[in-house]
Amino acid sequence: EVIEPHYLVDAMTETVRALLKRDSFQTEIHQLVSSVMDSFGDKSLFDVMEEAGISDDWRADTEEHLSSLVLQFFETERAREWLSALLA
């Protein structure tokens, strides 16, 4: 049986919403991140990524993509209004 993508998106969205409503959500995320970082020991994130075969080539692509998104935003009327209000 094939599951339609929108059902998966709906399920994931509801799961995220439920998690965000939990009072302990930030604490749980903090504990998870701390646990993962503790497992690195003295290794840097770069070392861990390198061991996992993940290069840092993503940075240039990510910076280019984010720059493109920011430039697109500043070409909108909404951005002009926001900037005008900010500088007023």
Tens of pLDDT, residue by residue over 63-84, are 888 999 898 888 888 888 888 8
The whole-angstrom separation of Cα 80 and Cα 76 is 7
The model's confidence at residue 50, banded by pLDDT at 50, 70 and 90, is confident
pLDDT at 56 over 70: no
The whole-angstrom separation of Cα 44 and Cα 81 is 42
The whole-angstrom separation of Cα 46 and Cα 6 is 36
pLDDT at 59 over 80: no
The number of C-alpha atoms within 13 Å of 2 and in the hemisphere containing its C-beta is 3
Q: What pLDDT does 80 receive?
A: 87
On average, the pLDDT of the chain sits at 88
Going by the DSSP 8-state scheme, the letter that residue 57 receives in this structure is T
Q: Are 74 and 82 in contact (CB under 8 A)?
A: no
Q: What pLDDT does 35 receive?
A: 92
Q: What pLDDT does 86 receive?
A: 84
The whole-angstrom separation of Cα 83 and Cα 64 is 23
